[in-house]
């Protein structure tokens, strides 16, 4: 299973009790110039995996030990005028979804908010490092 699929599965489980929110299997593409997460507010969209490989060090036999970092972003937009009372719990549940991804050396998650007009967009970033 891919990291993206693991995140979607865990997020689905984590938000199951929050009836105002849902998760989409679709990627967060633009439709008519509007991102899907802005068009379908209160729906979580998980982006594609971005994998970055760098040489960690070179061995004595001239082999390489590489470090791979996989980054996945997730997006959630909500109405800024009528904020949900459980939004902080939902955000926390999205952040801890990273724990579902196993066999990694390190994992981290963080988020940023952006307010445009009357929409708050939460952008979550998940990072997974393997050696």
For residue 62, give its domain range. Answer: 3-130
Domain count, the chain: 1
What does the DSSP 8-state code read for residue 28? -
pLDDT value of position 1 = 61
Torsion of CA 96, 97, 103, 109, to 10 degrees: -60
Q: How high is the mean pLDDT of the chain?
A: 92
Of the candidates 85, 76, 14, 90, which has an alpha carbon nearest to the alpha carbon of residue 42?
A: 76
**Cα(49)–Cα(110) distance, rounded to whole angstroms?**
16
pLDDT value of position 17 = 94
pLDDT tens sequence across 54-68: 887 777 777 788 889
- Contact (CB, 8 A) for 8 and 23: yes
pLDDT tens sequence across 100-126: 999 999 999 999 999 998 999 999 999
- Candidate from 8-12, 25-29, 88-92 with smallest mean pLDDT: 25-29
pLDDT value of position 90 = 97
pLDDT value of position 57 = 76
Backbone angles phi, psi at 16, to 5 degrees: -55, -35
pLDDT tens sequence across 29-62: 888 888 999 999 999 999 999 999 888 777 777 7
CATH (domain of 15): 3.30.2000
Report in angstroms the alpha-carbon separations of 99 from 79, 87, 89, 114, 117: 28, 20, 16, 25, 34
State the pLDDT confidence band at 95, using cuts at 50, 70 and 90.
very high
What does the DSSP 8-state code read for residue 3? H
* The pair of three-digit structure tokens given for residue 35, joined into one six-digit string: 């991102």
């Amino acid at each position: 299973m891919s990291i993206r699929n693991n995140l979607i599965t865990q997020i689905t489980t984590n938000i199951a009790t929050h009836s105002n929110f849902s998760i989409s299997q679709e990627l967060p593409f633009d439709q008519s110039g509007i991102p899907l997460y802005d068009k379908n507010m209160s729906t979580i969209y998980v982006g594609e995996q971005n994998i970055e490989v760098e040489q960690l060090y070179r061995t004595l036999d001239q082999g390489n030990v590489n470090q791979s970092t996989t980054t996945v972003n997730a997006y959630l937009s909500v109405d800024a005028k009528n904020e949900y009372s459980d939004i902080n719990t939902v955000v926390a549940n999205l952040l801890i979804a990273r724990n579902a991804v196993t066999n990694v050396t390190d994992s981290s998650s963080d988020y940023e908010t952006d307010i445009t007009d009357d929409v708050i967009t939460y952008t979550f970033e998940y990072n997974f490092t393997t050696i």
